[in-house]
Amino acid sequence: MSRTRVSLAGIAVWLFAGATLVTAQSTPAAGGDRTVTIHFEATVGDAPAACGRTYSDVGRSGSSVTITDFRLYVMAVRLMRADGTDVPVALSVDDLWQQDDVALLDFEDGTQTCANGTPETRYIVEGRVPDGQYTGVRFRIGVPFARNHRDPTLQPSPLNLSRMFWTWNAGYKFLRLDLRTSGQPQGWVVHLGSTGCTPGATPLDVPTTCRYPNDVSVDLPAFDPDRDVVRVDLSALLAEADVDTNQPDTAAGCMSSRDDRDCTAIFQAIGLPFGEAPGGNQRVFSVARPSRAETKR
């Protein structure tokens, strides 16, 4: 008897929730929409970036490096039309890789040098866009401000991975690239995230502002989502960096600290201002066109 009541109540809740969902999804009523999958690849130059491999001649010091972690959050993904307008990609929420407007890309597989990682990998961002022709893509590397400064243990996946926590700084690492280099075998890393954050008024408040948000804007105007791949080239990220040395009394590599000059070349590569150096266009993300024989996944 009470069992019956439970299931009836359950159905009522389910119907209610379902109705809400349908309403939300059917908002762009004019015309249809379609699934879009944006593919990414991580490389060191032209070689695929993978755990356990050694890459030579990386950075200004011509170092040999191995990757021990590489993940990043992508948000605010938009597809551009030929007429210059753009539309948001409504990310499909899978409670694993994607949540709201943020998606995790994961280029490590937990093997070999990436022992602290996860076996799962992720090279795509998935969502829906209105039907139509798209000629470009833009997105940001980062976590939406409203989500960036909450208790991460209460956040859904993919915002609950401890390797991406940046709790000392009340936020997340937007991008983490961990390396071992010939000159810094203990590690030389790039951890990008917001710094210079000031607190809210009460203990339950999140930071109200961050002087250096450090989210990265990427515009790729010539990109066909049905054919092309967004390439993340780590050799471009590190091109002007000396990954064999570390400024004394600072984090190993660049953890976004303003007094760490190891960040200068990294921030320049991703188009962010740093110290005296102004921001500009990022040089790390580009459009790659796979050959016809190559299967996209």
Question: In angstroms, what is the minimal distance from the CB of 58 to other proteins?
Answer: 22
Q: Is 180 helix (H, G, I), strand (E, B) or coil?
A: strand
Least distance to other proteins, CB of residue 254, Å: 11
CA angle 296/173/270 to nearest 5° reads 65
Site for other proteins, rule CB under 8 A: 2-3, 5-6, 8-10, 12-13, 16, 116-118, 149, 151-154, 160-163, 165, 167-170, 195-199, 201-205, 207, 211-212, 249-252, 255, 257-259
* Residues 36 and 105: beta-carbon distance below 8 Å: no
Q: Decide whether 198 or 295 has the Cβ nearer to other proteins.
A: 198
**In whole angstroms, what separates CA 120 from the centre of its chain?**
16
Looking at beta carbons only, is 134 or 274 nearer to other proteins? 274
Nearer to other proteins, 35 or 167 (CB): 167
Phi-psi sector, 266: left (phi>0), alpha (psi -120 to 50), beta: alpha
CB 252 → other proteins: shortest distance, Å?
A: 8
Shortest Å, Cβ 273 to other proteins: 13
Instruction: Write down the least CB distance from residue 118 to other proteins, Å.
Output: 8
| Count of beta carbons in the 10 Å neighbourhood of residue 194 | 26
Residue partners of 235: CB distance under 8 A and separation at least 6? 43, 44, 45, 55, 58, 59
CB of 265 to other proteins, least distance (A): 19
The smaller minimum CB distance to other proteins, of residues 15 and 47, is found at: 15
Q: Which of 162, 179, 165 is nearest to 51 (CA)?
A: 179
Minimum distance, C-beta of residue 5 to other proteins, in the bound complex (Å): 6
Handedness of CA 256, 125, 69, 284 (dihedral sign): negative
**3-class SS of residue 54:** strand
Our CB check for other proteins shows the closer of 16 and 62 to be: 16
Question: Maximum distance among all alpha carbons in the chain?
Answer: 75
Of 17 and 47, nearer to other proteins (C-beta) is: 17
Q: Which is nearer to other proteins, 67 or 90 (CB)?
A: 67
Distance between CA atoms of 16 and 27, rounded to whole angstroms?
A: 17
**Do residues 70 and 189 lie in contact, with contact meaning Cβ atoms separated by under 8 Å?**
no
Nearest alpha carbon to residue 116 among 178, 174, 65: 178
